[in-house]
C-alpha cells in the first residue's frame, strides 16, 4: 500500500488533490475548489449508524406487513399494503412498473439495511466483516435506487387525491413509512465510509496488541 499518500484525498467532483486535516466532532471538510463535501467527522459513526439501522429494519418489516390505507365506498372497502399494490399492478399487465416499484421501495431498502448490518455489527465487536470490500461496493451501487422518501410523498399525494371521492382510513404502514424515512435519513447522515476504513485499517494493530 502506498504509505506516502495515506493523508491525501482527491475530491470526487473535481479531482483536486488535498491533504486531510483533523476535524472537530460533527464537522465536515469541503473541497477548497468546488465546495463538495470531502469527509465528515461523524460522532460515534459506527454505533449510531448501527442503532438507526436496526430500528429502521424493524420499521421496514412493519411498513411492509400492515396496510398503508383503506378506502370505503358504498358499503364496500379496500385496503392495501405495499406488496399488495405491487402484485396488483403486476396482474394489471404493468409488470415493468410493478418491478420498478418493487425494486425501489421494497428490495433495495431491505438490501441497504441488510448490508449495513452485515458491515457494522462485526465492526462493533472489533471483527472484520466477511466480504467487506464486496459489501461496500454493493452499498455504493444500490444506494441511489432506494426511494422510500419519494414513496412517502407519493402516499401523501394519493391520500389527498382519494379524500375527494372516498372515506380514507390511514393505516399503520403509513406512519411506519414516515418513521422509516426519518431513520434512513439518520442512517445516511451518521454513516461514514472513512470511519469504517479507519476501523478496518487499525484492525491488524489491535490484534497484535491483544
Partner 1 sequence: MTAIAESAAGQGLCSCHVCNLVSRRERVSGPAHCPRCGASLHFRKPGSVARCWALLMAAYILYVPANLLTIMETGSLFSYRKDTIISGVVELWKTGSWVIAVIVFIASITIPLLKLISLTLLLVSVQRRSRWRPRQRTRLYRLVELVGRWSMLDIYVVTLLAALVRFGAVATVKAGPGALAFGAVVVLTMLASMQFDPRLIWDPLQKERNP
Q: State which of positions 90-149 bind partner 1 (CB under 8 A).
A: 92, 94, 96-98, 100-101, 104-105, 133, 136-137, 140, 144-145, 147
162 touching partner 1, by CB under 8 A: yes
**In angstroms, what is the C-alpha Rg of the chain?**
21
Containing H/E element for 185? helix 172-190
Q: Give the span between the Cα atoms of 152 and 184, in whole angstroms.
A: 12
Site for partner 1 in 27-46 (CB under 8 A): 29-36, 38-39
Q: Give the span between the Cα atoms of 81 and 128, in whole angstroms.
A: 38
Number of residues that bind partner 1 (CB under 8 A): 72
39 versus 54: smaller Cβ distance to partner 1: 39
Question: Cα 16 vs. chain centroid, distance in angstroms?
Answer: 28
160 touching partner 1, by CB under 8 A: yes
14 versus 130: smaller Cβ distance to partner 1: 14
15 touching partner 1, by CB under 8 A: yes
Cα angle value 75/79/80 (rounded, 5°)? 160
What crossing angle do the helices spanning 108-124 and 132-142 adopt, rounded to 10°? Answer: 150
13 versus 47: smaller Cβ distance to partner 1: 13
Site for partner 1 in 164-203 (CB under 8 A): 164-166, 193-194, 197, 201
Amino acid at each position: 500500500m502506498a504509505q506516502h499518500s495515506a493523508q491525501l484525498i482527491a475530491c470526487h467532483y473535481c479531482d483536486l488533490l488535498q491533504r486531510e486535516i483533523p476535524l472537530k466532532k460533527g464537522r465536515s471538510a469541503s473541497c477548497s475548489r468546488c465546495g463538495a463535501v470531502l469527509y465528515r467527522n461523524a460522532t460515534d459513526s459506527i454505533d449510531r449508524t448501527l442503532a438507526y439501522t436496526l430500528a429502521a429494519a424493524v420499521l421496514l418489516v412493519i411498513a411492509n406487513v400492515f396496510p398503508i390505507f383503506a378506502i370505503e365506498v358504498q358499503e364496500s372497502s379496500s385496503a392495501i399494503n405495499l406488496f399488495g399494490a405491487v402484485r396488483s399492478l403486476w396482474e394489471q399487465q404493468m409488470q415493468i412498473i410493478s418491478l420498478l416499484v418493487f425494486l425501489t421501495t421494497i428490495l433495495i431498502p431491505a438490501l441497504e439495511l441488510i448490508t449495513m448490518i452485515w458491515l457494522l455489527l462485526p465492526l462493533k465487536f472489533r471483527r472484520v466483516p466477511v466480504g467487506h470490500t464486496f459489501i461496500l461496493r454493493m452499498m455504493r451501487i444500490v444506494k441511489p435506487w432506494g426511494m422510500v422518501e419519494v414513496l412517502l410523498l407519493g402516499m401523501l399525494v394519493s391520500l389527498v387525491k382519494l379524500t375527494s371521492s372516498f372515506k380514507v382510513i390511514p393505516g399503520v404502514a403509513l406512519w411506519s413509512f414516515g418513521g422509516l424515512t426519518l431513520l434512513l435519513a439518520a442512517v445516511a447522515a451518521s454513516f461514514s465510509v472513512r470511519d469504517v476504513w479507519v476501523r478496518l485499517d487499525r484492525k491488524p494493530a489491535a490484534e497484535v496488541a491483544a
